[in-house]
Every structure is written in C-alpha cells, then in structure tokens.
Structure 1
C-alpha cells in the first residue's frame, strides 16, 4: 500500500464529529430552553499529541484522523530525533506518537532521551517494524505502547488514549509474544510501565500473581498500610478502577509469572 493510500485509508475510518447534539438540522426540540449566554462552563483541556515520523504522508494521515476527534489537539510534528527533542521541550505534549526508526542509527534512544527530559509524556510507538528486537528495545526505553503501521484509525485513537492514561497497549500481533519479549535471558523483567517506581513494579508483579496485600507485605517486609497505599498509587498511575483491572493489564504485559 502506498503512502498516499495509507493516508486516505486513515482519513476515511473515523466518522465525522461535526454534528451537534441536535442532529443534522441543529434545531432544538419544541419547549427546550436554550443555554444561558451567561453560563460559562470550562471545557476540559484537550489531550495534546506530538507526531514524529520521517514520512510526511504518515504524519499527515494520523493528524487528519486526530483533528476530527473532539478533545485531542495535535500540537506539533517532527521528522528527526533532534526535532523530537526540540518539539517535546516546546510543546510538553501528553503523548508522543513516534517511529523510532526515523533517525538511524539512533533508533529507540530518542524515546529514553525524551523521557529523561519530560518523564510525564506517554510514548506510543507507531512503526512498520515488528521484529522482536525493535519491540523489546522500545519497551525497555520506556514506551507505553507499540502499534504497527497497519493499525486502523480506531486502534490509533485507543492507543493514544491508553498511554495518556498511563496504561500499556500493544498491537494484537505483539500481544501473544509479549511475555517472552520482556523477559531477557537473565530472567529479569523489563516492565512496560515506566510511570511506576521499582517498588511499585514489585507490588504490581505480586498483584498479577494473585497475592493479597497481606501476603505482599509479608514478602516485602513492609507494613500492610504501606502496601495498601502503594496499591492505590499503582491503580491511579495505571488508570484502573480496581484490582481485577490491574491484574488483567499486568498479566497482558507478562507480569505475575515469576
């Protein structure tokens, strides 16, 4: 598929959000009171996105999709690793969508450099490369998500929203082999949750294994209250509502098998 065809495909996959709540006509039902011109309800801040890819057609295709979504703002573009660092520093985006291979031989080093500079940004890799080495390198560098460029518009949108919420997300073709990819020969895990501290990762690994707070506290020689507080912090960072959701997310990333 050509770059132009790929761009056109992305543009067609999401419906237009131009219609208002009253439908095509914009007329209000009879008897409905229009909002007061004096009421000022502040809209939530948009989720900001920086697009980084050496190919202008890819950046244009993703931008065209995102600009049709309410609540998302594309704040910049970059074509090289140096531009990524400059634009990230300038824009401070919520999410960086990046193809790490745009600036060989730098590769995924740009991810770790971005996260050292702005640790709160969520990094979503959007690449045509799905070999094990590239995926492992990106996750190890701190990427929260990894999608292949054949992903459709809905998948791209979900990926951006997931990493913005602190969640991990990978392409379906990667998910089945993820637990193997993040466990190198040393037997130690590389966690795709860069927002967690090492201690929080230890706790999450045990949560994924189905252990209670009491059991975790005993294993880590910590007070139960300390573990309870850490569990609450982990849930907040991962954007999950309860233990069950945390377990599913962690196990999908290969945790809980140690």
Structure 2
C-alpha cells in the first residue's frame, strides 16, 4: 500500500510518515506541506493520501476537491484537530473517504488507512460517536455555519466563497455595491481574518460555496 502525508506542521508530518513507514505492507511515497506540493504528488503511484484541513493559507478541503477532480479513484483520509460536524460533512462532500482526529492512536491510524485503501468509508471513533448521538437523539446533525453572522452576512460570504466579486454579488442580491462592501467588511471583522482570501478559506472549510 502506497501512501502520502499532507500537513503543514513538519513534526507531525514526519512523525506520521515515520509511523506509516514502520507498518507492514505500507510505504510512504510522498509528503507535502501545502496545496501546491500536494497537487504535484504522483497520484498514479499513491493509494491513500492523509490530508490535514489547515495547510497554512490553503484549505485541505479545497485541496481534496481538486485531487479527487484530477483522479476520482484517489482515496483521501482527512486527519485533523477539527471535530465539528460541518467540517466532516464538507470533507465528505468533496470526496474524502475517511475522517480521523489527530488524537487517534497508532492502531486507529493503521485501521483507518487500511480501511480507506480497501474502499471503505470510515470515521474515527470520536467522530462516529458524535454522528450516532445526533442520529439517535432525533436532532438534526446540520448546524448553521458561523452562527455569529447574520443571515445576510452568511449569504454574502457564501457568494464570496464561490468566487464572485462585489459587483456580481450586488447584482445577484439586488444590493448596492456599497452595501456589499460594508457587509464583507463586517464579515471579515467577525471572522477575525485579514482579507477576502482568508475568509474564503474559512468559508469553504465550513461548507459554504461548495455546492
């Protein structure tokens, strides 16, 4: 089984590569620290890619989407610190085959990698427990992303995440360009991000702009 590890933290990335390389029947064929490096991995030589969600200024969700677009047979196992339902759903929507938390044990990592390689879809124990609780409690598992935003701010952010500029957004929502600028400014402030690009990364990680 051939694997690659994509993570912007070198200690974690090298540690995970070392763990995987020590397992019987598994060889590490590549490592990447960001989206640019991940997108030049030789997909025809890799069976499973372990993917972090936060790659510095890049999004692991968008990187996964592009890898799956390039090779629908690529199997991505997300390994992240994030355990919220929206992140899980967003990853599955773009084609990830599994979702594992970074607190997983070596045995859990091995089981997940082998399961994904065999074509299974797998959730780590903590994530699966949350999903079962949501289903058996009768509550909807869907959570509104960015609850601190107003409905209008969330609507504008969704369009920003789809790549639309302010003029296009103003036309689609029948708002003045000035109003759109003000809304975007409010969104950046509430999300505590420095610019539009960072807001897009955050929005797509939460599932906005992906349909």
TM-score, normalised via structure 1 length: 0.50
SS at match of 2:22: coil
Partner deviation per Cα, 1:103-148 (whole Å, 9 max, x = no partner): 4353411111100111111110010111222111111111111110
Report what 1:234 is aligned to.
none
SS at match of 1:120: coil
SS at match of 2:99: strand
Partners of 1:105 and 1:55 in 2: how far apart? 13
SS at match of 2:54: helix
TM-score, normalised via structure 2 length: 0.60
Report what 2:71 is aligned to.
118
Partners of 2:42 and 2:86 in 1: how far apart? 26
Instruction: Please identify which structure carries the higher helix content.
Output: 2
Contact 2:35 2:58 in 1 (8 A): no
Partners of 1:82 and 1:92 in 2: how far apart? 18
Report what 1:176 is aligned to.
129
CA change 1:159–1:61 in 2 (3 A) is same
1:164 paired residue among 117, 121, 124: 117
Report what 2:166 is aligned to.
none
SS at match of 2:120: coil
Contact 2:112 2:124 in 1 (8 A): no
Report what 1:143 is aligned to.
96
Contact 1:99 1:125 in 2 (8 A): yes
TM alignment of 1:207-226, pairs within 5 A: none
Contact 1:92 1:118 in 2 (8 A): no
2:53 paired residue among 83, 97, 100: 100
2:25 paired residue among 55, 67, 71: 71
Where structure 2 has 5 or more consecutive residues not aligned to the other structure, the ranges are 144-211
Larger Rg: 1
Higher relative contact order (CA 8 A, sep 6+): 2
RMSD in angstroms over aligned alpha carbons? 2.1
Contact 1:124 1:145 in 2 (8 A): yes
SS at match of 2:113: helix
Task: Say yes or no: does 1:57 pair with 2:57.
Answer: no
Cα deviation, residue 183, structure 1: 6.2
